[in-house]
Structure 1
Amino acid sequence: MRIDILSLFPDMFQATLGESIVGRAQDDGFLDINVTDFRQYTTDKHRHVDDAPFGGGAGMLLQAQPIFDAMAAIDQEVAGKYPKGRVILMDPAGRRFDQKYAQELAQEEHLTFICGHYEGYDERIRNLVTDEASLGDYVLTGGELAAMVMIDATVRFVPGVLGNQASPMGDSFSNGLLEYPQYTRPADFRGMKVPEVLTSGNHQKIKEWRMRESLRRTLERRPDLLEAAHLTREQEIMLQDLKLDQESDDEE
């Protein structure tokens, strides 16, 4: 996968995307990440990339020209190597980013993120994009942090990045539920013991325990997720038992 990022602050991406899993994925050739400072494409002699909005109003807007020209340069560079792919505008009014969205983006060979700053964008910039995305109902100083979060969550699903492809599919939200509790050695740490089923060697019992605990954690912490989850008959029965247990505890 190739990922292009348009930003006025390219140095922000070096430490985050150059370390850990994303950094190794680049070293191993699974990812090609390129950051473009679109200020380099301005035709203004003072290198301005923003201006006051027509009709008045607070703040400054990013101008269309530098971003259009930066996108044209990227298109020319990737022509014949990668498809056009998705172009994602970071915007608080965009589609809410979640695990399903990350899996969707991971199917692409080429992604481009446009990171805004200041008050907003010249509306014509939206003609360049396929997606408008947001992390949530709040406003950040710029789109850089949001883009980094989206990239980190997305590349986990790119084949080869994590090594074990079963790993991201077991993450919280991947199956609509929160992940079950996990433990490692020692089995007894300061009197806090690992559930016996996990050391039993009975893989069927372990699977059932994990399923039940995933449902329990989701019911307790994010019951809203259960409304959209596609549960098997076995999971539905487990969930009903957990709800009865919860009601019994509340009564006590």
Structure 2
Amino acid sequence: MNIDVLTLFPAMFEGVFTSSILGKAREKGIVNLSTVNFRDFAGNKHNTVDDYPYGGGGGMVLKPDPIFAAVESLLDVPSSGSETVGEPVSTGAKPRVILMCPQGETFTQRKAEELSREEHLIFICGHYEGYDERIREHLVTDELSIGDYVLTGGELPAMVVIDSVVRLLPGVLGNEQSAVTDSFSTGLLEYPHYTRPVEFRGWTVPDVLISGHHANITEWRRLQSLYRTFKRRPELLENAELTDKEKRWLREKMAEEEGRQG
């Protein structure tokens, strides 16, 4: 996979792209991560990338021409003026062009799984008041938000999305099963985890987990996942695929909970 990030602050990505899981994925050649400073494509003597909004109002708006030029440069050959962490690579595949924006679709694990199947992703990180609407209408394929709040720019949200996507690529995680059982991957929250020691300050590991009975362990984890979802994110259960046995078990837990509250 090739991932390019259009940003006015490429230095923000240096540590993220060279550390931990992302750094290892780059070293293995699984993903190429690059940053492009779209100020290099401003095309004016002051390298201006923003301007006052037509019609008046506060703040500045990102101009369309530098961003269009920067994206288009990635579709053929890398721009010689770009600042990069890694080298942009053209794959010939039509990329997904993702605008990080508070107005966008809320990012979810399902979206991460969808994006992980792409060959080329381009992220646009904005600043100031917003984007010229023609960027939304004629350039981007997706608008994404990581939550209902506003940040200074799109860099941090882009890092979140990239981390979430890259860890799903084959060969990135040491244990491929880890991504499959993560919270939200099954539509439910993940079950509780325990490790050594068996007893810590009087608190013990559930007997089933040290029983060696794999079928019982699998069932326990599934039911714990259901219960944790019910307790913390009950709205997720509306679309969950449950067996009749799981539905009965969950109804019993709900009844117990109502009894305690009543």
Q: Which amino acid aligns with 1:154?
A: V
Q: How does 1:38-187 map to 2 (within 5 A)?
A: 38-77=38-77, 81-126=91-136, 127-187=138-198
Q: Which amino acid aligns with 1:81?
A: T
Q: CA deviation at 1:82?
A: 4.1
Q: Which amino acid aligns with 2:118?
A: E
SS at match of 1:11: helix
Superposition RMSD on alpha carbons, in Å? 1.3
Of 196, 202, 221 in structure 1, the residue corresponding to residue 232 of structure 2 is: 221
Q: Which runs of 4+ in 1 moved over 6 A?
A: none
Which has the larger displacement, 160-169 or 29-38?
Answer: 160-169
Identify if the C-alpha distance between structure 1 residues 34 and 202 changes in structure 2 by more than 3 Å, giving closer, same or farther. same
SS at match of 2:10: coil
SS at match of 2:76: helix
Q: How many residues align?
A: 251
| Cα distance between partner residues in 2 of 1:234 and 1:20 | 41
Q: Which amino acid aligns with 1:203?
A: H
Q: Which amino acid aligns with 1:66?
A: P
Structure 1: runs of 5 or more not aligned? none
Q: Percent identity?
A: 54
| Cα distance between partner residues in 2 of 1:232 and 1:13 | 44
Give the TM-score of the pair, scaled to structure 1: 0.96
| Cα distance between partner residues in 1 of 2:91 and 2:112 | 23
SS at match of 1:34: strand
Give the TM-score of the pair, scaled to structure 2: 0.92
Are the equivalent residues in 2 in contact too, given 1:82–1:109 (CA < 8 A)? no
| Cα distance between partner residues in 2 of 1:202 and 1:112 | 46
| Cα distance between partner residues in 2 of 1:149 and 1:14 | 14
Structure 2: runs of 5 or more not aligned? 78-87
Identify if the C-alpha distance between structure 1 residues 231 and 41 changes in structure 2 by more than 3 Å, giving closer, same or farther. same
Q: Which amino acid aligns with 1:116?
A: G
Q: CA deviation at 1:229?
A: 1.5
Are the equivalent residues in 1 in contact too, given 2:110–2:185 (CA < 8 A)? yes
